[in-house]
Structure 1
C-alpha cells in the first residue's frame, strides 16, 4: 500500500495552529489529516473558560481540550463521526453533548503582509493611549455588550481613534477605535469598536486598517476573532482569510461532578 504524504501546511495556517496549540496548555497538536479531531485533557487550557470544553477548528481539523479524562472520553465518543465543520456549529454540538452554556462560535481569521488590503489612509485617525477618555466614552456609547466583545480596555497597542469633529477647536466624539492585544507566538489579537450611529460607513475598516498596519510593521500575526457578520465582512475587506472557528462549551454534570451523557 502506498502511503501518501500529507500536503504541506500553508504558512498562515501553520502559524495559527501553533498559536492555539500553545494556548491548549499541554503538548498537543492539530491532526494533519483533514477531518480529524484531537481531544486532550488540559485543566489549564486557554481555549475556553476554566472547567469547560474548548473546541478550535483550523484548516479542516480540530483540537479539543477537556478539563479531565472522563469529560474527554465523553467528548470523544459524542463527536466521533461528526464532520469537523459541525464542531463549529452550535446546534450540532448541542445535539451531541449535554450543553448547559456555550460561547461562540467565533470565526478565526488571519492576514499576511502580502494579502493585506489597507483602507485609504485618513488624516482623522488619531493615535492615543488605550485608556484615553475618548475610548472609554466610545465604549459607553456602544453599550456594555459590544464594549465587552471588543475589549478595547485590554489592548497593549496604541488605540487608533476616528472622531467626528464638532465645532472649531472641539475634537468631537470618537465614533470608532481599534487596537490589538499581544498574544503568544507574536500574535496581535484585534479589537475594533464602532458607535452604533456610525456603523455601515467604513469607520471600522478605517481604524482596523491602522491597527493591522501597526501590527504587521512590528512583525506580528494579526488575528481577527468575530461572531457578527458585519465584523467578519470588515475583516474580509482588509484581506483576512477565515481559517477556522472557536467554540467553548460547558457540559452538564451530576452531583458527583461526573459529566452526563447526551440525552
Structure 2
C-alpha cells in the first residue's frame, strides 16, 4: 500500500526527532532506548502515532522492557490513550495527548477576512506583552516565544491581540504557534493570523505542522484544511522508571 505523502513526510520527521534507529510499525509500535529523544522531555517516554503506525522512545533499557510488553498487547492507536497506559504502567505524570495535523498546499483553505494582518519581527515587544497577558499556561501551550519565523499579528490600537508564527523544525517542517488575548477570543482572530503564518510557510516550501490539545485550536486546524493524522503523548514512569 502506498503511504500518503504527507504522512510519509511526517514519519520521517518524527523518526529523526527520535534520535535513534526506529521506524513506524503498523502491527506493533517500535520501541527504542533513546535518552536524547525529542519526542518527550528528558527521562520521559515519548509516543507518536501517525496514520495508525507508532514509535516509542524510552530513557533506559529497563523501561524498554516495560513498554515493549505494552505494545505487544495493544494496537498502536491505543498507545496515545492515557487510560490504556495507566492500566498497564506505573504512570507518574502525563503530557498530552496532543493531536498532530499536517497540511499540503493543495488542501490549504486561506482565511478570508477584512482584518489587517501585520508582519513583525519575532522579537517585537507586542508579542511579549501578549504572552504576559495570556498567562503562563496558555503562553506555554502556544509556543509563540519559540518561533523563528516573522510573527503575523492583529493590532487593536497599539496592542497586539493575536499572533501566529512558526518554529523551523527538521525535515523542512514549520511548527505552528498561535495565541489570542483572552478578551479577544471567539472572534476568528486565531484563524486570521494562523492563515497568514501558514501561507508564509507554504510559500517557503515548508510542511506546516499543528500540535493541538485544546478543542478551539483543533477547530482552527480543520478550518484551514489541516489533516489530523495522529497524536503525541509523553509519560513519566514512577519507581525509577524515568
TM-score (norm 1): 0.89
| Unaligned ranges ≥5, structure 2 | none
The structure where helix makes up a greater share of residues is: 2
* Structure 1 consecutive aligned stretches of length 4 or more whose deviation exceeds 6 Å: none
For residue 123 of structure 1, report the CA deviation from its aligned partner: 5.3
Secondary structure of the structure 2 residue equivalent to 1:100: strand
Bigger radius of gyration: 1
Is the contact made by 1:122 and 1:206 (CA closer than 8 Å) also made in structure 2? Answer: no
Aligned counterpart, 2:222: 236
Q: How does 1:143-158 map to 2 (within 5 A)?
A: 143-158=135-150
Aligned counterpart, 2:188: 202
Q: How does 1:69-84 map to 2 (within 5 A)?
A: 69-84=61-76
For residue 79 of structure 1, report the CA deviation from its aligned partner: 3.2
Structure 2 residue 49 is matched with structure 1 residue 57: yes
For residue 69 of structure 1, report the CA deviation from its aligned partner: 1.4
How many residues align structurally? Answer: 242
| Unaligned ranges ≥5, structure 1 | 1-6, 166-171
Give the Cα–Cα distance (whole angstroms) in 2 for the partners of residues 36 and 78 of structure 1.
10
For residue 199 of structure 1, report the CA deviation from its aligned partner: 1.1
Is the contact made by 1:36 and 1:62 (CA closer than 8 Å) also made in structure 2? Answer: yes
Is the contact made by 2:54 and 2:77 (CA closer than 8 Å) also made in structure 1? Answer: no
Secondary structure of the structure 2 residue equivalent to 1:107: strand
Structure 2 residue 206 is matched with structure 1 residue 214: no
For residue 83 of structure 1, report the CA deviation from its aligned partner: 2.6
Structure 2 residue 73 is matched with structure 1 residue 92: no
Q: Alignment RMSD, CA only?
A: 1.3
TM-score (norm 2): 0.96
Which of the numbers 172, 177, 199 marks the counterpart of 1:191?
Answer: 177
Aligned counterpart, 1:10: 4
